[in-house]
Amino acid sequence: MEKVLIANRGEIALRVIEACREEGLFSVAVYSEAEREALHVREATEAVCIGPADPRRSYLSIPALIAACEVTGADALHPGYGFLSENPDLAEICEAHGITFIGPSAEVLRLCGDKVAAKEAAKAAGLPVLPGSPPLSDENEAEKWAEDLGYPLLLKAAAGGGGRGIRLVRSPAELKTLFPQAKKEAELAFGDGRVFLERYVPEPRHVEVQILADKFGNVVHWGTRDCTVQRRHQKLVEEAPAPALPPKLRERISRAAVRLAEHLGYVGAGTVEFLVEGEDFYFIEVNARIQVEHPVSEMLVGRNLVREQLRVAQGKPLGYRQEQIELYGHAIECRINAEDPDRGFLPSTGRVWLHSLPGGMGIRVDTHIYHGMPVLPYYDPLLAKIIAHGEDREEARTRLYSALRRFQISGVKTNRDLLLSVISHPQFAMASLATDFLERIKLSR
């Protein structure tokens, strides 16, 4: 493996370029016609345009990506997160063309992408799962399963991800209304109209485990993360380790994640996600890729997870055992998005004008923005991730609040002020968290 094509954009593309430099590999950036001046285009060893601004004709086009590999001589492809990062067809086609796909196998991607099949695999590995239905063909079948499971329930897309395709169903009348809507949305969003029902947990915590596996059967975890503060099932604040978890419960969750990875024959970096309710935890899904929130785990472990992905893809062993991983301190990350919280998180476009960026002890900023950069309507609204690390959670929280105050840009609306309210809220400071945090707490802003 000598040259890595990065099938992505934004800050994750920059992370992969950085890791390629550290690993002594050449990097190839791809870009749409609208992003010729993007930072990842400037930083890569070389760059190639793969199509127009519409991501369906550029970043989501497998033929365009494979052609870019052939034109540039790239012998590996890193998918980043989002876009085609969990697409088994891309992994298969890469293999057919002699291109190393930096991620798990197409078989594992296909299984993990099917939420119902993934739950069955988790059960087979001995993990606890929430009671639920198989994929449902029609409303009558859905009504029968709902009656057996009991309301309230979550109606979920079998091929869903990233918090999309989820609806809360409280009654038979709501099920009758929401079922056809959910099937239609699932078909449009994921190309797969299958939906299923799952028991609803009212005030859970969202806890996940970062795992890493090599091609020799070695699997380790990098501890837990908490991603409980969300809006519309999409994460806003993430931290590691998950706070206020009893040590025995933390160990049980971590061991369960490793056990599942071993059962799947997983290779590469991935995340096993759980809902935590009191002393109980339930498997949700496997994100078979690198996560947006991976920096908080990196801060605790002191290793570059993207570089670890490259090393594993080259056939190198991990080179360390679980007992050699030491987690130091606490880290919290906030996602700065170009959106307006006062208008239902409506995406905001325009040009970014930088006034100040934070830095200093324990502060890290992962971003692709530059002064005068256009924020386009075609892509994810993520502008930056601000990560704070401290000896304990309170030090990390205090540093993050200060860093957020020093993150000052104009030209587009952002969620910065909302994040300041979250980080400074007494219940966040006490780690009194649930997935409905934003809804149940009136934030003073």
**What are the start-end ranges of the H helices in 191-330?**
247-264, 294-301, 305-313
Q: What is the predicted pLDDT for the residue at 163?
A: 63
Q: What is the predicted pLDDT for the residue at 320?
A: 96
Which strands sit side by side in the sheet containing 205-213, from one edge to the other?
280-287, 268-277, 205-213, 219-226, 237-240, 330-337, 382-390, 363-367
Q: What share of the chain is helix, strand, coil (3-state, %, to 5)?
A: 35, 25, 35
**What are the start-end ranges of the H helices in 369-435?**
393-406, 416-424, 426-429
Report yes or no: 335 and 235 within 8 Å, Cβ to Cβ: yes
Q: What is the predicted pLDDT for the residue at 444?
A: 45
Give the tokens for residue 207: 């806890």
Active site residues: 289
d(CA 153, CA 171): 9
Report yes or no: 195 and 218 within 8 Å, Cβ to Cβ: no
Residue spans of the chain under pLDDT 70 = 161-163, 441-445
Rg, Å, the chain Cα set: 21
Give the tokens for residue 143: 């009504």
Structural domains of the chain, ranges and CATH numbers in brackets: 3-102 (3.40.50.20), 131-199 (3.30.1490.20), 205-440 (3.30.470.20)
Strand partners, 369: none
Q: What is the predicted pLDDT for the residue at 442?
A: 62
**Residue 413, helix vs strand vs coil:** coil
Q: Is 54 exposed, middle or buried (0-12, 13-18, 19+ CB in 10 A)?
A: middle
